Amino acid sequence: MASSRATWSPRSGSCDLHVDFAVVADYALIDQHGKLSVLGIFQHVWVEQFPAMHPRTHLVVRVRGRRTQIGSHHLRIRFVDEQGQELLGGEGTVQFGEPPAGVTEVEAGAILVFDVPLPRPGHYAFEITLADNPAVRVPLSAGVINRDQAEGPSR
């Protein structure tokens, strides 16, 4: 199932370890019960000039798997330009704890906050690789704001 706002894993709907969804947003949080809340999902930013930095960009990821996949799983994030050049990146792990009795699927949310470098107008993407699965891409494009349109009609 594809959405214009989220990048879905090709394995979505299966119980195999996979990125269930990933989005870029203005803000996100995970409450004390594990509920994920996301505000201001977007795929394009407007800036006054390039190079630019988009501050406090939240990359929100939810990973799902089977009960038998509890433990740590390697996660790699790359922010790349149109040529595939890495502008930002990092690695870490996703940890699944033991679920309650009778629960057969596990999930974990992650919120990563970046100051995203935008050297020029164009298309970019966050590439998320989980364990040995193919990368999931979350698109982000950037353009120069037209000052005349932004200010409206002159008076």
Contact 22, 7 (CB under 8 A): yes
pLDDT surpasses 80 at 124: yes
Non-local CB neighbours of 3 within 8 Å, separated by 6+ positions: none
Q: Which of 40, 114, 42 is nearest to 80 (CA)?
A: 114
Q: Which of 101, 139, 7, 122 is nearest to 62 (CA)?
A: 7
pLDDT surpasses 80 at 152: no
The tens digit of pLDDT for each residue in 126-144 reads 999 998 787 899 999 999 9
CA distance 8 to 23: 9
The tens digit of pLDDT for each residue in 8-50 reads 334 444 458 899 999 999 999 999 988 999 999 999 999 999 9
Domain residue limits, the chain:
18-144
Non-local CB neighbours of 99 within 8 Å, separated by 6+ positions: 67, 70, 105, 106
If one compares 26 and 152, the residue with the highest pLDDT of the two is 26
Residue 8 has a pLDDT of 37
For the domain 18-144, what is the CATH code? 2.60.40.10
How much is the average pLDDT of 84-89?
A: 96
Contact 77, 134 (CB under 8 A): no
Exposed e or buried b per residue across 127-137, where buried means at least 16 C-beta atoms within 10 angstroms of its C-beta: bbbbeebebbe
Distances (CA, A) of 154 to 23, 72, 148, 149: 37, 58, 9, 10
